Amino acid sequence: MKATISFNKEETIGKVDKRIYGSFIEHLGRAVYNGIYEPDHKEADDLGFRKDVLDLVKKLNVPIVRYPGGNFVSGYNWEDGTGPRDKRPRKLELAWESIETNQVGIDEFQEWAKRADSDVMMAVNLGTRGPEEARQLVEYCNLDTDTVYANKRKENGFEKPFGIKLWCLGNEMDGPWQICGKTANEYARVATETAKMMKWVDPSIELVACGSSNLEMPTFGTWEKTVLEATYPYIDYLSLHSYYGNRDGDTAEFFAKAVDMDSFITQVENICDEVKAEKGTDKQINLSFDEWNVWYHSNDQDKEIEPWQIAPPKLEDVYNLEDAVMVGSMMIVLLNHCDRVKVACLAQLVNVIAPIMTEVGGDAWAQTIYYPFMYTSTYGRGTALKVSCDAGTYDTKEHTAIPNVDGAAVLSEDEKTLTLFLVNRSLSEEFDVDLKACGFEGYKVVKQVAMEGEDLQAVNDAANMNNVVPVEKCVEDGVKLSAHSWNMIQLEK
């Protein structure tokens, strides 16, 4: 079978914002405690952060990490995670039925982010709190004034401001699961006033307003429009969240869900542009897809966890090869919308639906989904090109005309390297790739890396950490896409 992949140097989508390769750490499960932070571990640094985990994070080239939630943030008092640790309160954490010790807060996390070569994307509590607490947090983090909250930071040992530039106005506020969730009008009002006050404190920050919690919410569409109509002058991004799973064991259907993600983005783009036209403004609202991943493996086991534990093992999906192909496919979707999706966060980073797993007192390792993320984050930087893939289609119960092969292309800033990311969704067919590269005379294929294998259920775990890893393929006789595989192909001038 043949797959014809066509692209033209002059037909661009846009520049890829590096923040499209962001991730997420929430005070949930073992993401923080016994994840990034384990002070008694042999690999712990001076602040208690695991250096082996930091090494794995740095290889992912994650430029921003969203923090501290998630559902957690809607009941969180940011002050609890500042100042002397022996005076910090232990509290019931309602979002995830856990006990929060507050041994890690913004004081520590901003330093962890620096050590991870990353920046913080900070979320504010618009559930149990509001505009006043949010603007106080901006002052604490970003100002060098002789005022109460800037001085509190200095008293806590941080003379220089943290300089956090990207902020979320709450989280999933239309969700009935959210602590103090809100109607569209309620959220629009509080988000508008919060945004005004936060930007009065620091005009240099960028703000993300909550979109609907997911595409299936009954509020979808009307929520976005109501929120945008109120917040438009003050915000910079609108958020999207979506997770996908293969609960029925139908891999073809599972792979087709990347098309749903593509449609979701397009619909939100259109709503933003509709409000823009109504307001008669030149300002464009871009998108922050700040929660996305595969999530379903751990759902049943999480129901058995007793409440009110410290760092219980929640949402610990063990990812297989099938999931790696799907994650790679979703990253292709994000690249192909990089003209509007400027921020995206793989949710999450460590232990909780994560590419990185740890054992308490033991090792850390990369899950299968780590690898397509790492390669795309590393080499998918530059200018994205429009790509056409002709390799036939397939139908499922819920989808029709799903392309067997999908792809994205990124030209490096120095234009010496063109990187293709291709997914073969076919469960049985291998494709010979025919590249139609207009404007790339003198370029040749030099490398192909693939996530492939016969066993789609194969995983990496503590006993066999390298069971599913990328393979480098010979390209002398051309490029081939194995059945159900994710691939990176590089051309050099």
- 322 included as an active-site residue: no
Q: Return d(Cα 164, Cα 100) in angstroms, integer.
A: 24
Are 282 and 458 in contact, with CB atoms under 8 Å apart? Answer: no
User: Could you confirm whether 172 is annotated as catalytic?
Assistant: yes
Among 172, 193, 322, 429, the one annotated catalytic = 172
Distance CA 113, CA 163 (A): 12
Alpha carbons 353 and 313: distance in angstroms, whole number? 11
Q: Looking at 269, 291, 429, 452, which residue is catalytic?
A: 291
Q: Can you give the chain as a three-state secondary structure string? A: CEEEEEEEEEEEEEECCHHHHEEECCCCCCCCECCCECCCCCCECCCCEEHHHHHHHHHCCCCEEEECCCHHHHHCCHHHHCCCHHHCCCEEECCCCEEECCCCCHHHHHHHHHHCCCEEEEEECCCCCCHHHHHHHHHHHHCCCCCHHHHHHHHCCCCCCCCCCEEEECCCCCCCCCCCCCCHHHHHHHHHHHHHHHHHHCCCCEEEECCCCCCCCCCCCHHHHHHHHHHCCCCCEEEEEEEECCCCCCHHHHHHHHHHHHHHHHHHHHHHHHHHHHHCCCCCCEEEEEEEEECCCCHHHHCCCCCCECCCCCCCCCCEHHHHHHHHHHHHHHHCCCCCEEEEEEECCECCCCCEEECCCCCEEECCCHHHHHHHHHHCCCEEEEEEEECCEECCCCCCCEECEEEEEEECCCCCEEEEEEEECCCCCCEEEEEEEECCCCCEEEEEEEECCCCCCCECCCCCCCCCCCEEECCCCCCEECCCEEEEEEEEC
CA 326 to chain centre: 14
Burial of 358 by CB count in 10 Å (0-12 exposed, 13-18 middle, 19+ buried)?
buried
The b/e string for 308-322 (b: 16+ C-beta within 10 A; e otherwise) is: eeebbbbbbbebbbb
Which residues form the catalytic set? 172, 291
